[in-house]
Structure 1
Amino acid sequence: MYQVKLYNKISKVGLNDLDPAKYTCSEDFEDYDAVLVRSAKLHDVQFPKNLKCIARAGAGVNNIPLDRCAQEGIVVFNTPGANSNAVKELVVCALMLASRKIVQGANWVKSLKGTPDIGPAAEKGKSTYAGPEIAGKKLGVIGLGAIGVKVANAAVGLDMEVWGYDPYLSVDGALALSRSVKHVTELDQIFANCDYITIHVPLNAETKNTICEESIAKMKDGVRIINLARGELVDTQAMAKALESGKVAAYVSDFASDEILAQENAITLPHLGASTPESEDNCAKMAVKEISDYLETGTIRNSVNFPNLKVPYEGGYRVCMIHKNIPNMIASITAAVKCNIENMGNRSKGDYAYTIVDLAEQPTEANLDALRAIDGMISVRAL
């Protein structure tokens, strides 16, 4: 029986996919095989030795200690694309909010409560909140992953001229992208040409402060910027300065900061991108599928710290090994198992690698101990 620790409320639609004959779920486990988590911070958590995998029901994994998990042989999954439609819809909303001063106008009308002839009074003041239409304007989409592609395609449907930038555009992303989207190879092309810019990239050392004083200086005067991805992708001090000067006409984000909240032409939302019941259900179902596939067959799909690997499994004697990506490891493995290997798969990712072997006969504890003793071996699991 596998024990799954829940660090947040996880949609029952997903949890119901776990076979109750094989899995039990609880927030109270001290020892457990897998973790399902959303936003809980796990950096200070001491994981039990039995922990084999963590699935984040969402895309970002900043709340998980990836390096420590890799060192301990704990596979970390995320759920790319499961919340992409929800985020896309919020970005479309943000385009309108950035253009038409809808929030400001609504707040002003609310302030008129008790005013005599409130209807005409509200109508008279509407010109203060006028704004441009988005049709015919250029939208720059930075990052063409699952979310960025959907945003780009939706904007094409809204009659925008869409420019997309992603140096790591996948084959699947390219196939899903509308042929009307202009794919550019230099980020400066987005900055120099686009009336609206929305960013959809993961946060890392390379992408932090993608929107900064230097990049804003390259943009059109009156540009409108949307960030519903990660707060640190935008230098908030530089953004506040640009909003004050009018260089940036509007900024919509769902990451609060004192600098941005002080700006009249900034709209800050709670982090609402994936806050839909459909998105939560989709993320939970994908996360559950990831941990059950890994625990039952050794398949790794959508891991952020280990290579993805699937070897067809028809039952029998399977051994799954996480190890350092170093020379002669495969030779050491085949020498240690001491029985016929019927099927095998191996993939590497950076400093780490993952190997699956299917054996003709059940490995003995001595076989498994010999594998564990190989220099660079991190974990050995027999199914």
Structure 2
Amino acid sequence: MKILVTEMMWNDGIEKLKQKGYEVDYDLELSRKREELLGLLPNYDAVIVRNETKVDTEFLDAAKKAQVIGRLGVGLDNIDTKQAAERGIPVISARNANATSVAEYVLSCMLDASRPIRQADVDVKKGNWNRALFTGTELNGRVLGLIGMGEISHRVAKRAQAFGMEVVGYDPFVAPFDHVVQETGIKQVHELGELLKHSDFISLHIPLTKDTKHLINKEAFSIMKPEAYIINSARGGIVSEEDVIEAVKDKQIAGAYLDVLESEPITDSSRFAESENIIITPHIAGSTDEAQSRTALLIAEEIDKVLNGQKSLCRVN
């Protein structure tokens, strides 16, 4: 059987598939070569994608032999899972494989905002020794607000609590006795505005849907503390980019850490260059070496299960 990989996949996952006897064709740039991709799809029994490959009607029409689609990650906004299901094609995601890496990314953002170590280093190397300028603040006693209370939020909360932070969460789909409330110790709030009003850091862990599109917008920023930071490692489009630029410019909030954008990468004319308090990273929150390896190995294993008629716990449709 033949498997096509259209985006970056760690080699250990590819090698695992080859060891199981599959013929694997890998082109990490194929997601950007649409016509070539569509021409190749009819020849493959399985396709592995990441977040750039659009698995839409055109893709599914071309993938005539496909028995399964693997997603190297958990976001599904680039995949029409409903149409795939109608055609009998299961979609497999890398369930929780990168959750720890995303959680550590969020902690890194909060530490970076609290202790200006990089700025102090630059200043010292210029010949200065300004201790008062770079004192920073503690995370201890600060309030972290989590929008979305799934597995990643659970891991973020446990780490934030170790720093002495108070953690609150908003998620209309989480019940009062779910484990993330009862066992993790997140204080559940039932109004988004309450979380926005009281949090020093707000971290997003929700999918991009019609209901979450621009959820964090001008109105949301007007509620937040002027010393607050927004952290988005979930999906571009949840935060209104024009509104966050204005909010930081007008000092409605202290800053933002954005790992995901509505259009990636940014252009030379992007307004993000206007503010040094908006930190942009290239969609790397869940992309540590360890997470990449776990993701690749998990998808390889689950693809193999489906192709051999077994059930996958990572199926999403």
Question: If the length of structure 2 is used for normalisation, what is the TM-score?
Answer: 0.83
Q: Unaligned 5+ residue runs, structure 1?
A: 113-117, 307-383
Alignment of 1:298-309 (within 5 A): 298-304=310-316, 306=317
Structure 1 contact 98–252 (Cα < 8 Å) conserved: no
**Among 265, 288, 310, the residue aligned to 2:300:** 288
Structure 2 contact 142–165 (Cα < 8 Å) conserved: yes
**What's 1:223 paired with?**
228
**What's 1:326 paired with?**
none
C-alpha deviation, 1:72, in angstroms: 2.9
**What's 2:100 paired with?**
85
**What's 1:5 paired with?**
4
Quote the Cα distance in structure 2 between the aligned partners of 1:272 and 1:287: 19
Structure 1 residues 132 and 75, CA gap change in structure 2 (3 angstroms)? same
Letter in 1 for 2:53: K
Larger of the two Rg values belongs to structure: 1
Structure 1 contact 77–302 (Cα < 8 Å) conserved: yes
**What's 1:183 paired with?**
188
Structure 1 residues 263 and 210, CA gap change in structure 2 (3 angstroms)? same
**What's 2:84 paired with?**
69
Structure 1 residues 135 and 246, CA gap change in structure 2 (3 angstroms)? same
**What's 1:232 paired with?**
237
Letter in 1 for 2:170: Y
C-alpha deviation, 1:129, in angstroms: 4.0
Structure 2 contact 148–169 (Cα < 8 Å) conserved: yes
Letter in 1 for 2:256: Y
Q: Does 1:276 align with 2:281?
A: no
Structure 1 residues 227 and 173, CA gap change in structure 2 (3 angstroms)? farther
- Tell me the secondary structure at the aligned position of residue 101 of structure 2: helix
- Tell me the secondary structure at the aligned position of residue 107 of structure 2: helix
- Tell me the secondary structure at the aligned position of residue 261 of structure 1: helix
**What's 1:325 paired with?**
none
Structure 1 residues 52 and 279, CA gap change in structure 2 (3 angstroms)? same
Q: Unaligned 5+ residue runs, structure 2?
A: 28-39
Letter in 2 for 1:187: L
Structure 1 contact 7–40 (Cα < 8 Å) conserved: no
Quote the Cα distance in structure 2 between the aligned partners of 1:146 and 1:300: 19
Alignment of 1:1-383 (within 5 A): 2-18=1-17, 20=19, 22-27=21-26, 31-43=43-55, 45=59, 47-108=62-123, 112=126, 118=127, 121=128, 123-124=129-130, 126-169=131-174, 174=179, 178-255=183-260, 258-304=270-316, 306=317
Quote the Cα distance in structure 1 between the aligned partners of 2:121 and 2:280: 15
Letter in 2 for 1:95: M
C-alpha deviation, 1:276, in angstroms: 1.4
Structure 1 residues 301 and 147, CA gap change in structure 2 (3 angstroms)? same
Identity of aligned residues (%): 31
Which sits farther off after the overlay, 215-224 or 155-164? 215-224
Structure 1 contact 149–177 (Cα < 8 Å) conserved: no
Letter in 2 for 1:205: K
RMSD: 2.6
- Tell me the secondary structure at the aligned position of residue 62 of structure 2: coil
Question: If the length of structure 1 is used for normalisation, what is the TM-score?
Answer: 0.69
- Tell me the secondary structure at the aligned position of residue 233 of structure 1: coil
Quote the Cα distance in structure 2 between the aligned partners of 1:132 and 1:228: 23
Structure 1 residues 259 and 101, CA gap change in structure 2 (3 angstroms)? farther
C-alpha deviation, 1:141, in angstroms: 1.0
Quote the Cα distance in structure 2 between the aligned partners of 1:225 and 1:208: 16
Quote the Cα distance in structure 1 between the aligned partners of 2:77 and 2:241: 19
- Deviation string 1:283-314 (CA, Å, 9 cap, x unpaired) is 1122122222222124143333x2xxxxxxxx
Structure 1 contact 221–246 (Cα < 8 Å) conserved: yes
Structure 1 residues 273 and 171, CA gap change in structure 2 (3 angstroms)? farther
Structure 1 contact 156–181 (Cα < 8 Å) conserved: no
Quote the Cα distance in structure 1 between the aligned partners of 2:66 and 2:288: 30
Quote the Cα distance in structure 2 between the aligned partners of 1:259 and 1:103: 23
Quote the Cα distance in structure 1 between the aligned partners of 2:182 and 2:122: 37
- Deviation string 1:126-180 (CA, Å, 9 cap, x unpaired) is 5444432111011111112121110011100110011122222389972697443
Letter in 2 for 1:192: K
